[in-house]
Amino acid sequence: MTNAYVAIHCQVGKERNVIKALMEIKGVSEVTGVQGLYDIIIKIEAEDSMKLEQIITKQVRSVSYVLTTMTLIVI
């Protein structure tokens, strides 16, 4: 099992839309709104690093209004 936290910066005022979309992605186990440089932090649980990469690049980053992400892989 590979886990990661992803910090997400999104378009101002669209945080709720992004949170709703992220909650629908298989593998995303936690979604939390935060204050600061990033707007949302999510936890992803994947079978392996390749599946983790697919979830982040193909699903999380393609959510409307997501501007940037920063991935922190748990060791």
Reported as a single tens digit per residue, the pLDDT across 6-52 is: 999 999 999 999 999 999 999 999 999 999 999 999 999 999 999 99
Using a CB cutoff of 8 Å and minimum separation of 24, what contacts does 59-66 make? 59/25, 60/6, 60/8, 60/22, 60/25, 60/28, 63/18, 63/21, 63/22, 64/14, 64/17, 64/18, 64/21, 65/10, 65/11, 65/14, 65/17, 65/18, 66/8, 66/9, 66/10, 66/18
What's the pTM value of the predicted model, to 2 decimals? 0.94
CATH code of the domain containing 33: 3.30.70.920
Domain count, the chain: 1
Containing domain of residue 64, as a range? 2-73
